[in-house]
Amino acid sequence: MNPTNKEKLLQYGREVLALELYEAQKLPGRLGDDFVRACELILSTKGKVVVSGIGKSGHIGKKIAASLASTGTPSFFMHPSEALHGDLGMIEPNDIALLISYSGRAKEFNMILPTLKSMNVPVIAITGGKDSPLAEAAYSVLDINIEKEACPMGLAPTSSSTNTLLMGDALAITLMRAREFSEEDFARSHPAGSLGARLLNHVRDIMRTGDRVPYIPETATVFEAMLELSRTGLGLVAVCDSAHKIIGVFTDGDLRRLLLKNGTLQDPIKQVMTSPGYRLPADWKAAEAIKSLHDHNISAAPVVNAHGELVGALNIHDLHQAGIS
């Protein structure tokens, strides 16, 4: 490709972005009483937000419904055509309809609006047609009007669809913040993601248990500690008293340092262990555990219950395998 064609491609791309940014930067100034009314209505409802739109508005509507649902506002998407063939039965009197149409004149909505009115279901409109039938029927109108589409023919929704997406994000995130929706709340909606793994899992859910936990009695020798280190491969061994409470830890590094100082494998472990040694509480969240291991510059630790008794062991690799980083 010759340089002239490359320059044209870059020019076209930059023109699209510039036009969409130009239209988008007008949106913050348009937020006013209607936006507040929409938020207050949704926050006060006991039902769901039913999002609907057709064409590009429908594609973006699906994203808005998903964003609302994952940030604390129960919501689902309903296709207008399907609504006219039975799916209107999914709407209940306590619900709110969020209808998206740039022109505000989608014929499907003209047929849906009377039913919503008869059910006393309030309508929030995301539209650029402030004088349209949709806007006139709406309790609140969120204005996404543009001067110009980024499409040079003015046909493909570009600037208008970007404004729709941004207005949906503004609504969803404003509601999330108003509800004081937390990371833990978000994680419950995303249990399979890395955030869910970090915030929903506790140390007790991930730790090694049973024979996989390296420990020796306080009467043991360095030789017995070395055998336990080799058996489990965790890099440390917990030293426990007769009540199974940890009194110290001994690591691979401790063993190397002992032998370099001419220590012997017959030395009592109590004389060379690190006391009291670091340990992780079983009821900590996984996110707390990995941060603490990093902060202490260690890769593994024994796990204790509320009474200080050894109940498990955990290392960085276990956390990474659980999707926590």
Annotated binding site for Zn(2+): 79
Task: Give CA–CA dist 137/123, Å, rounded.
Answer: 7
Picking from 252, 251, 246, the residue whose alpha carbon sits closest to that of residue 279 is 246
Residue boundaries of the structural domains of the chain: 3-181, 203-321
Contact between 125 and 142 under an 8 Å Cβ cutoff? The reply is yes
* pLDDT of residue 301 exceeding 80: yes
Task: Give CA–CA dist 280/234, Å, rounded.
Answer: 15
* pLDDT of residue 260 exceeding 90: no
Of the candidate CATH numbers 3.40.50.10420, 3.10.580.10, 3.40.50.300, 3.20.20.70, the domain formed by 203-321 belongs to: 3.10.580.10
Fill in the amino acid letter for 260: L
Block residue for tokens 């044209």: 8
What confidence tier does 325 reach under pLDDT thresholds 50, 70, 90?
Answer: low
pLDDT, mean of residues 112-123: 95
Q: Is 284 helix (H, G, I), strand (E, B) or coil?
A: coil
Annotated binding site: 79
29 CB contacts (<8 Å, ≥6 apart)?
none
Query: Does the predicted TM-score (pTM) go above 0.85?
Result: no
Beta strands in the chain (DSSP E): 49-53, 75-77, 96-100, 123-127, 140-143, 215-217, 236-240, 246-251, 280-281, 300-304, 310-315
Block residue for tokens 């949704």: 42
CATH code of the region 3-181: 3.40.50.10490
Picking from 267, 315, 265, 317, the residue whose alpha carbon sits closest to that of residue 292 is 315
With a pLDDT cut of 90, the percent of the chain lying above it is 53
pLDDT in tens, 43-99: 999 999 999 999 999 999 999 999 999 889 999 999 999 989 888 999 999 999 999
Task: Give CA–CA dist 140/164, Å, rounded.
Answer: 15
Structure tokens at 60: 């973006």
| CB-side neighbour CA atoms (13 Å) of 232 | 27
